[in-house]
Amino acid sequence: MLIIAERINSSRKSIAEAITTRNRAFIQAEAKKQADAGADYIDVNAAVFVGEEIEHLTWVIETVQEATDLPLCIDSPDPKVIGAVLPLVKSAPMINSITLEPARLEGLLPMVAEYKAKVVGLCQSEDTMAESTESKVELAGRLVEAVQKAGVPLDDLYIDPLVYPLGTSSNSAQFTMDAIDRIMTEFPGVHTTCGLTNVSHGLPARKLVNRTFLVGCVIKGLDSAIMDPTDNQLFAALKTAVMVSGRDDFCLEFIQAFRSGRLEQA
């Protein structure tokens, strides 16, 4: 289970402020906190600064890499920004994200191949926000095809089937979970990932909804998540779901998490 730690995102006010004020200590503390909490990749995002994204993301990347040796997940909707910052990374990164939009796909796939990067592929095309299971799986198939054609191993692709708010469609989470199940079965070797917060948009008790959705996704085969590993209840739900889904031999990881105090709220 690969954890992409999401906290260093400019859509969060405290992060945006730390970026504009060049608050190195704050960003580095966020990086270390997530590394200590079990992150595998540190997501870095400066996308709110349209027009100045390269400059800001460059600073964030250099700052985070001083604080941790973990690889980065370069998070931008703009292939030009990703191309500009990729030469800075110290170890093979993850790129977040490609879609089936031709400019984004064709702009990014050569870089994914060149940097031997992992890449998040969103089930989204120019004309489709895939809501049904069927349409998510169809777009996933097109991502698989495009990535393989570009010479990127399937093992480097993390398909995000996307999730829409339960408040606007009662089946949205089910469609995403069923898509995870089918993608993992129909494209052996590929990975799946997912962000969690969208599912609970507009509902109360959002953290409860997010972590219950995470458990459901893991039970259906999800093997990566874009999440906040410093949220102990969320982390505990993840570790327990991995065990319950039969992917924790002898319950060793679960027992280790318990011993290190990470399951204490339970």
- What is the CB neighbour count within 10 angstroms for residue 95? 25
Closest CB 87 distance from a second copy, rounded Å: 42
Selected binder of a second copy within 37, 88, 113, 219 (CB under 8 A): 219
**What angle, 0 to 180 degrees and rounded to 10, lies between the N-to-C axes of helices 53-67 and 13-20?**
100
Secondary structure of residue 9 in the 3-state scheme: strand
Q: Among 14, 71, 40, 63, which residue's Cα sits nearest to residue 235? A: 40
Q: What angle do CA 240, 229, 35 make, to 5 degrees?
A: 125
How big is the site for a second copy, counted in residues (CB under 8 A)?
Answer: 38
Does 209 help bind a second copy (rule: CB under 8 A)?
yes
In which element (H, E) is residue 208 found? Answer: helix 206-219
179 is a contact residue toward a second copy (CB under 8 A): no
The interface with a second copy within residues 31-90 (CB under 8 A) comprises none
Quote the tokens at residue 35: 């590394």
Q: What size, in residues, is the chain?
A: 266
Residue 170: cis peptide before it, omega within 30 degrees of 0: no
Given the complex with a second copy, which of 119 and 214 has the nearer CB atom? Answer: 214
Cβ proximity to a second copy, 142 vs 207, nearer residue: 207
**Residue 207 contacts a second copy per CB under 8 A:** yes
**Site membership for a second copy, residue 266 (CB under 8 A):** yes
Among 62, 90, 203, 260, which residue interacts with a second copy (rule: CB under 8 A)? 203
Asked if residue 249 binds a second copy (CB under 8 A), the reply is yes
Q: Closer to a second copy by CB, 94 or 173: give it.
A: 173
Q: Does 26 bind a second copy (CB under 8 A)?
A: no
- Residue 150 interacts with a second copy (CB under 8 A): yes or no: no
Q: Which amino acid is at 168?
A: T
Write down the number of H helices and E strands in the chain. Answer: 10, 8
Would you state the structure tokens that stand for residue 114, as one six-digit string? 């060149």
The correct pick among 46, 109, 157, 236 for binding a second copy (CB under 8 A) is 236
Tokens of 192: 């799946």
Residue 221 engages a second copy in binding (rule: CB under 8 A) = no
Residues that bind a second copy (CB under 8 A): 166-167, 170-171, 173-175, 177, 199, 203-205, 207-209, 212-213, 215-216, 219-220, 236-237, 240-241, 243-246, 248-251, 254-255, 258, 263, 266
